[in-house]
Structure 1
């Protein structure tokens, strides 16, 4: 049975309230790097493979584990964060600056709406979630995936709720994105078997309380 560990990236500059440029170039903070090191220390034996998104904060979170087991194959998959605000419109902004636009997007509740160039629609995002789970079913052994809070919540929703149309998925996802905590460097175990997937709890026990962040 394939076992997948889903890990959110460590604290990023955006999580810390800092000004950022583009979604894919947001780096980890010093705390984020420390969280990544603790994640790597949890692994006593190498996984079969390490997967991460192309976004800098996911790559940087995966690096300590890759350094610990340099013989393990690595791969970049489309498990990047759901970017529904057009990046060029929000260059040089903070998370607080973007709050009103985020609220407007989720009030619209249109799964086919695309903000502008560089932004995804919810349909695009949901297709990536579906494709990710389909791909996992083809693997053997253990896989570690370094991804992002909203993408991982999308995976959780799809596993728990089963197949959903885009409109219903967006309605449910709007609730789960705020109702379910997925802190930085938290991890969840996903066990894949024919015809089903079993999801464990979101764990942060490897992080001391003073290193928890969202």
Structure 2
């Protein structure tokens, strides 16, 4: 029975309000690196595998755990963040600079809308969520996945609600993405079985209060 620990990356430059260029190259801050080290310290035994997205901040968050258990196989899966704004139009901006564009995207509520080159539609994103869960069902043992806030919330929404059409999923996700907190370096456990999927609480107990960030 697959047991999966879902971990959000540590604080990134974008989370800290800094100017960034492209979504896949955003690095961790010093706080993010410290959070990643604390995540690795939570593991008393090695998992069966470590999975992370190709985005720099997820790779950097996974690194301390990979160094702690160098014998554990690692893999890059398509669990990267939902990038719905065209990257080339927002290079050199901060998260605050993108606030109006983010609001306009979610107000449109069109699951097939694509903002431009390099952007995903919501349908693309939801298909990745479905494919991820299906892929997990075919693996045995414990898996640690380092991913991103919106992708992890997508997994949570799908597990809680079951199969959803793209329009209904986007409508629900619009509220879910802001209503459900998933801080940097937070983790939750997902257990998959043929009859049901069980989702644990989002936990941050491994992080001191002064190291919490979103």
- TM (norm. structure 1) is 1.00
Aligned residue runs from structure 1 range 172-211, under 5 A: 172-211=172-211
1: distance between equivalents of 2:112 and 2:135?
Answer: 24
Q: What secondary structure does 2:198 align onto?
A: strand
Once the two structures are TM-superposed, the CA of residue 78 in structure 1 deviates from its matched residue by: 0.2
Aligned residue runs from structure 1 range 29-40, under 5 A: 29-40=29-40
Is 2:66 the counterpart of 1:66? Answer: yes
- RMSD between superposed Cα atoms in Å: 0.4
2: distance between equivalents of 1:192 and 1:142?
Answer: 11
Is 2:129 the counterpart of 1:134? Answer: no
2: distance between equivalents of 1:206 and 1:156?
Answer: 21
Match of 2:87 in 1: 87
1:29-70 deviation per Cα after TM superposition (whole angstroms, max 9, x unaligned): 000000000000000000000000000000000000000000
Once the two structures are TM-superposed, the CA of residue 100 in structure 1 deviates from its matched residue by: 0.2
1:86-128 deviation per Cα after TM superposition (whole angstroms, max 9, x unaligned): 0000000000000000000000000000000000000000000
Question: Unaligned stretches of 5+ in structure 1?
Answer: none
Superposition misfits of 4+ residues, deviation over 4 angstroms:
none
2: distance between equivalents of 1:205 and 1:28?
Answer: 21
Question: Unaligned stretches of 5+ in structure 2?
Answer: none
Match of 2:107 in 1: 107
2: distance between equivalents of 1:121 and 1:3?
Answer: 29
Q: What secondary structure does 2:130 align onto?
A: helix
Match of 2:118 in 1: 118
Match of 1:45 in 2: 45
Once the two structures are TM-superposed, the CA of residue 195 in structure 1 deviates from its matched residue by: 3.3
Q: What secondary structure does 1:7 align onto?
A: strand
Once the two structures are TM-superposed, the CA of residue 2 in structure 1 deviates from its matched residue by: 1.3
Is 2:55 the counterpart of 1:55? Answer: yes
Match of 1:165 in 2: 165
Number of corresponding residues: 214
